[in-house]
Copies of this chain bind each other. A is one copy, B any other.
Amino acid sequence: MNHALFKKHHKTLTSAVKAIRGRAYWSAYPEIPSGKIYGQSAKDDGLAAFKAHLNQTFSLDQPGTEGTVGDEVSPYGLSLGIVYPKANLDILLPAAQAAISSWRDAGIEARCGICLEILDRLNRRSFEMANAVMHTTGQGFMMAFQAGGPHAQDRALEAIAYAYEEMTRTPAEVTWQKQVGKDQFITLRKAFRIVPRGVAVVIGCSTFPTWNTYPGLFASLVTGNAVVVKPHHGAILPLALTVQVAREVLTEQKLDPNLVTLVANSADSHVTKDLLGRPEVKIVDYTGSSAFGRWIEQNATGAQVFTEKAGVNSVILDSATDLTPVAANLAFTLSLYSGQMCTTPQNVFIPKDGITAGGERLSFDEVARQIVESVDRLLGDPARAAEILGCIQNEGVLKRIEEAASAGGAVLRKSEPVAHPNFPEARVRSPLLLQASADQRELYTHEMFGPISYLVATENTAQSIELAAQIASEQGAITCSVYSTDPAVLQAAEEAAARSGAALSCNLTGQIFVNQSTAFSDFHVSGANPAGNATLCDGAFVANRFRIVQTRVPVASEASATA
């Protein structure tokens, strides 16, 4: 432990390593936006810091800056008016590449210490980040604080812990001795050196700009690569702040800040394909649409590619001891951030003859009615509704809601604007619930991103399970939720989920939801269906971001004789 920052954060790293080995509950960064934890003025300071960015040029002293880009508009209504450096890739990429060798030679502990210091500083700026995430993604404040701040930081730490384990599992040096005769030995000193792949590009999405980006960013950085961060044009600020903090820490540590750079773009200009075409790029982390994710998987063949695309998640409703808590849980799940989480279910499969709940037989219509009423009840208070729903991130989703409402399925619950108590122009909509029959596949088997869900009437639970698995295998799925009092149904669902690569949650009620994925315990995205090829986080997420290059030197024979 020769590096001061490694010493400073060693306990955090050790605890994180323990956590990934056990995958039980653990968290490093407090998720409660409390003044007692973050400082009494933290909330006001964070808001003020966010406001100070508005209508300014965001300062990042990057090489190859030629003009500015950026036209983010908050889903809450205000135009952010922030512009960011426009990057000339012919200058920026070589600068990133040039930064790598000293970072590689700094060694594992220095890199870990520095990455943990970056996280620590990001944590202290969680309120500022919360506002930045809220006003780019449209999330409610609480979610923006948690998912944008501490939960994203936890996911980053998880990736660092896996990378640390992977880099240190091979000794740096070893003496290799082979007996080749009665008293004869061949003795070699071998050194195993961790070398990075090159420049890593991390492509962010508009809904979870930090949570989905940090694992790739920190996994690539801590393993010695330079990282170019490419935010979604609608959610630049959270990642610009991140890049700024990283560059600050690197500069303080007398390292080249170009190890972390930003390549932003405006809505009408594209830069990702140019970026991925650069020969320096050896790693790509992507979160976003399935179509572009597939393009990257098929075309960025010179790079290690990690994707999280989209999917169609299912709920299988078979039976319950009591439908009320089930409906309440589903109502929250379907409402939270207006279905703009990649983990939100789209389809709720219910047998057309209904289900048994609490010993009673409930018809399909009765089940549907209870779910609709639960949503109505949950969203009855506009202020609470606005906080749960957040805003619709982009206009495209509004259009999709409209189209879905008239595409064929019976409307069980209309999507309607909800007045936000603080932001009159906020793009808030309540969930659209539609009814479909199992054979109306054209309605529900493709992804309908946003607050659009189908209650699908199936022949029976066996068909529900089969449909959920089939859609997961073909379209991808991240989560699957099943409600049943029958162990055989739960087992069949587990088997189907394992076969189709969806993470299964059984009989969730109360304050735990299928949408939630917790760092250090839940594996987010299985990588076993088209929803993505990687997981946050496992060994495979980090192991191929660096390579080992070895050196062998013979050891003088006297040493071998006495060894």
Contact = CB atoms under 8 A, between A and B. Distances in A.
A475 interface: no
Interface in A5-47: 21-25
A539 interface: yes
A544 B548 contact: no
Contacts of A497: 549, 551
A88 to B, nearest CB: 25
A539 B168 CA distance: 11
Interface stretch (A106-114, A391-399, A505-513): A505-513
Interface in A292-340: 297-298, 301
B549 A543 contact: no
A410 interface: no
A239 B524 CA distance: 39
Given A186-B510, A554-B512, A549 B528 contact: yes
B526 A174 contact: no
A23 B174 contact: yes
Given A169-B539, A506-B552, A24 B195 contact: no
A63 B345 CA distance: 41
Contact of A549 (B503, B509, B544): B503
A174 B490 CA distance: 18
A206 B365 CA distance: 66
Contact of A528 (B197, B505, B553): B197
The 3 A-B pairs of least Cβ separation, nearest first, read: A540-B543, A528-B547, A540-B544
Given A25-B177, A301-B301, A502-B549, 13 more contacts: A21-B169, A25-B176, A186-B510, A188-B512, A191-B494, A195-B501, A195-B526, A501-B547, A504-B551, A505-B551, A523-B548, A526-B548, A528-B549
Contact of A301 (B169, B298, B539, B547): B298
A190 interface: yes
Interface string A185-211: 010101111010100000000000000
A192 B188 CA distance: 41
A79 interface: no
A563 to B, nearest CB: 11
Nearest to A544: B540
21 contacts: A21-B169, A24-B177, A186-B512, A188-B512, A190-B521, A191-B494, A197-B528, A297-B301, A494-B551, A497-B551, A498-B549, A503-B550, A503-B552, A505-B551, A506-B551, A507-B553, A508-B554, A523-B549, A528-B549, A535-B548, A540-B543
A522 interface: yes
A101 interface: yes
A346 to B, nearest CB: 19
A527 interface: yes
A294 to B, nearest CB: 9
Contacts of A254: none
Contacts of A177: 24-25
Interface residues of A, number: 66
A547 B526 contact: yes
A170 interface: yes
Interface in A516-541: 518, 521-523, 526-528, 535, 538-540
A377 interface: no
Interface of A: 21-25, 101, 104, 166, 169-171, 174-178, 180, 186, 188, 190-193, 195, 197, 297-298, 301, 490, 494, 497-499, 501-512, 518, 521-523, 526-528, 535, 538-540, 543-544, 547-554
Contacts of A503: 549-552
B548 A504 contact: no
Nearest to A553: B506
Given A297-B301, A301-B298, A509-B554, A175 B543 contact: no
A188 B505 CA distance: 10
Contacts of A180: 511
Contacts of A552: 503-506, 508, 522
Contacts of A21: 169
A191 B501 CA distance: 14
Contacts of A174: 22-24, 521
Given A543-B539, A547-B527, A554-B508, A171 B22 contact: yes
B24 A193 contact: no
A548 B522 CA distance: 10
A192 to B, nearest CB: 7
Contact of A24 (B176, B191, B535, B544): B176
A511 B543 contact: no
